[in-house]
Structures are given as C-alpha cells and as structure tokens.
A and B are shown apart, each in its own frame.
Chain A
C-alpha cells in the first residue's frame, strides 16, 4: 500500500436523532480506490456526503494530507462528489460543463480552453463539445461528468454508484473506462456500490457497510471470504451451473 493521504477516524453522522454512521474509520493510500459494498439504506451515501462536507459529522475527524478538514466547507476540501446521475448542468454545453470548475477559479480563458480541449480529446468527447446534455446518451453524459470532475484535478473522488443508472452494456464499458482512467491519472477515490462485480473490478481496497458501520478487509481474498459480500454464494452458483452444463454435455455425448 502507498502513502496514506486520506484518513477517517471514528466518524459519526445522522439525521436528527437517527444515527446513520457509527464509528467509521479507514485510511486510503494515494492513487487507490476504496470500494465499499453495501445494501441500500446502509449509510453509504451519507458517508460520502459527510466526507465531501455536504452533511455534518456529529463525531470523529477527517484528514486530508494529514490536515484535519472536518470543519471545512465543501469548496475548501476540493473533494469531488459524483452522483449516480451525471447531473450535467442543463444550460451549458459539453465544453462549458467540463470547463465549469476551472471558470469558478477565475482561470485564464486561454488556459481553460487548452486544458478542457485536451481533456475532451482524451475522453473522446471532442466531437460532442458543442452538444447540450439532452442530446447525449447515458454513457456520454457520465463521461462528461467524469471530465468535469477531472478538469479541476481533485485530490479525491467520491463515487456514489456512478454507473447505477446505465444499462448493463454501457455500465460494463464505463467500468472499464473508469478503471483505465484511474490508472492513467493516478486517481484516488472512494466508490460505494451495491454491485459486487463493480466493487471487485474497480477496488484496490475493500470494505463492507452495514447499519452505518464499516468493515475493512486486508485484501480481496478476505473480502471474498466474508459471507455478507455474497461472493461465496455467487461463486457457488456459477460452479453449480458449470457442473450442470458439464453433466448435460456428458449425457448428450
């Protein structure tokens, strides 16, 4: 594991008297993706919103590059939250959506143009530069959303089931796209999902969330061995299917 640059210590959060997160602690190495698996309503989204500063923590601390950022506002943290939906700004075209974050920082127009165009090319979005969001497919929208996020070079990306609204094929393509991008850009991210395959495919570190509590696993084998992840059940299912197919094949011979 690389150098720890993001740390969460005994974090708790909730809504009124309802406790949603309890004593959540973990560390993340630079350039890694922590994949957190969990069912709907287990507190995954609240965890990401608390880390982004969009929801207040009731206890614990968040450290970025050893600095306590628990009381910082979202814009000061620079941690980027990507929703399940692409949430492109409907009044801006693809270029302006991707350039949005740079323009907020009053970056020089020439620099905005050069950097955004280079990124659009890398993401194979140059041809769509002038299109409005309602002219794009689901996968294209998600790529633009990634472009908008990457253009501001955030220290950490928070991915809240970012491919959940896509069809199976587009989802698989986007997972590969993200995997390659994360490697190329050395991106650090926390991904929450209820899709086991997605967690295994995209994660470098693994966790499982249940009732607001996070269990961390030292490696993929430990993650797969935990019954709650459903991995053992999944593998058993496919092994049974394979055996049945083999038996049928042998009988037909």
Chain B
C-alpha cells in the first residue's frame, strides 16, 4: 500500500468515471446543471435508439473487415520488408500516413475517391481506413520477423514441411499473440475513426462514431451517451475474450 493513497485513488477514479458517468447519462432524464443526480432514471433513450443498434452492427462489420484485411496484408508485407536490404527506409515510409491529420489525409484522397465512385460507400471507407490501419499493422508486425523466426521456418522445411504447412503449423501459431495484438489495435483505430469516415463517407456510411458525433452536434447528450456506451461495448468484449492472448504478447 503506498504511503499516500489519494493520488492512486484519484487515478483509478479518473479511469472508472467514464464507465460510470456514461451509463448514468444514458439512463438520465432531466439532468441539468447544477443537479448532482438526474431527476429520474429511464430506459427510453435506449429504447428509442434503434438506429444506433443498426450503426453498431454496420460499424462492427466495417471495423472487422478493415482490421482483418490490414492484419492479413500487414503480416504478408511485413515478412517481405523484414527480409529487404532497405528495411529501415521502407519502415520509415509506413509512418507517412501519420504525418497528416486524418481529415487532411481524407481531403487529399477525396478527388480520387470521387473519380472512382467510392465516396459514400462501405468499400470506399473500408479502403480509406486501410490507408491508416495497414501501415500500423506493418509497423507492429515487422519486428516479429526476426532471423530466429526465419530459421525456424527453414528448419520446418528440412523436417519435411511444405510452405503451406510451415505457415499453418509454425508461423501462424507462433505469431498468434502478435497477430491478435495487431488486429485488436487496427480494430480500435477503425472503430473510433471519425475524420476519414466523415469526409469520405459523406454521412452515408453510418458508423457508430459518426452517429455519436451527430448527436453531440445536435445537443442530445442522452442519446449520444447511449451511443458512447455502445461504442465501448465491442472493445471491452474483445479485451475480455482475448485477455489471455493479448497479455501473452510480451513473452514472444
């Protein structure tokens, strides 16, 4: 126990507060300053937010598609980069998308997306989000490809493995923790992404983040709180499901 537990208590409180405040706000009715407690608690905001459930599903599918594609592509490309003689230069290129803010990046891409008819479509936003999640996955996965990993792959070949068997029985199981980490991070980037989705989706790609910002803009804090609660749901669910594997990454 620390000598002065108050700073630690405040830190824990700061972390827990959104998880208490948001559900409470989503259940509140007539909660105005300076009242410290809502006038009454109600489920009506949850019941009236049917379109948010649609956005939850839509956004979930989009983020799953983005994160799975980015991780799969990242795993494949990071292998080639790790073996390349200009590995460091190529990795520096992967930082390029992060030199801009997502909104500026979206405006740079907008012309090409208009020309190709991708603006305002699921495919368009999927592709746009890949521009930021794919380099991220490359940056996370490239350090995993050490000479030891390549030696193990070669060893499996001499033991009789085909290329497919080496992937399935050696590389894939060994990389599982780092792949899960990469996928989960890519999912989070996509799930909370607003700038690119807003500019290139033109409001026709109704992810949950877009909806929440809409409600905040409309000064409807109760439904926005419902959306924010839903927004927290998938990451918390995945964290719970993958806790073992995600926390095992440091042993790789």
Contacts and interface: CB of A to CB of B under 8 A. Distances in A.
A85 interface: yes
A74 interface: yes
A249 interface: no
Contact of A85 (B148, B156, B160, B162): B148
Interface in B127-158: 148, 151-152, 154-158
A152 B160 contact: yes
Chain B interface SS verdict (over half)? helix
Contact of B158 (A81, A85, A90): A81
Interface stretch (A35-43, A99-107, A135-143, A201-209): A99-107
Contacts of B155: 81, 83, 87
A75 B160 CA distance: 4
Interface string A73-95: 11101111101010101110000
A104 B159 contact: yes
B249 interface: no
Interface string B63-93: 0000000000000000000000000000000
A187 B114 CA distance: 68
Contacts, number: 60
A87 B158 contact: no
A148 to B, nearest CB: 7
A104 B165 contact: yes
Nearest to A80: B158
Interface string B165-188: 100011001101000000000000
B146 to A, nearest CB: 12
A54 interface: yes
A91 B165 contact: no
A104 B169 CA distance: 9
A52 B148 contact: no
A105 B151 contact: no
A31 B44 CA distance: 83
B158 A100 contact: no
Contacts of A90: 174
Contacts of B94: none
Contacts of B154: 49, 52, 54, 74, 81
Interface in A26-52: 49, 52
Nearest to B173: A91
Contacts of A148: 159
Contacts of A87: 148, 151-152, 155
B148 A54 contact: no
Contacts of B176: 91
A74 B161 CA distance: 9
A28 to B, nearest CB: 17
A100 B151 contact: no
Contacts of A100: 156, 159, 169
B250 to A, nearest CB: 13
Given A91-B173, A100-B169, A80 B151 contact: no
Given A54-B157, A90-B174, A75 B162 contact: yes
Nearest to A103: B169
Nearest to A96: B169
Contact of A89 (B152, B157, B165): B152
Contacts of A77: 158
- Which 3 A-B pairs rank lowest in CB-CB distance, beginning with the nearest? A74-B157, A101-B159, A91-B173
26 contacts: A52-B154, A53-B157, A53-B158, A54-B154, A54-B158, A73-B157, A74-B154, A74-B158, A75-B157, A75-B158, A75-B160, A81-B155, A83-B151, A85-B148, A87-B148, A87-B152, A89-B174, A90-B174, A91-B173, A91-B176, A100-B159, A103-B169, A104-B160, A104-B161, A104-B169, A148-B159
Given A49-B154, A77-B158, 12 more contacts: A52-B158, A53-B157, A78-B158, A79-B158, A80-B158, A87-B148, A89-B152, A91-B173, A91-B174, A104-B165, A148-B159, A152-B160
Interface of A: 49, 52-54, 73-75, 77-81, 83, 85, 87, 89-91, 100-101, 103-105, 148-149, 152, 154
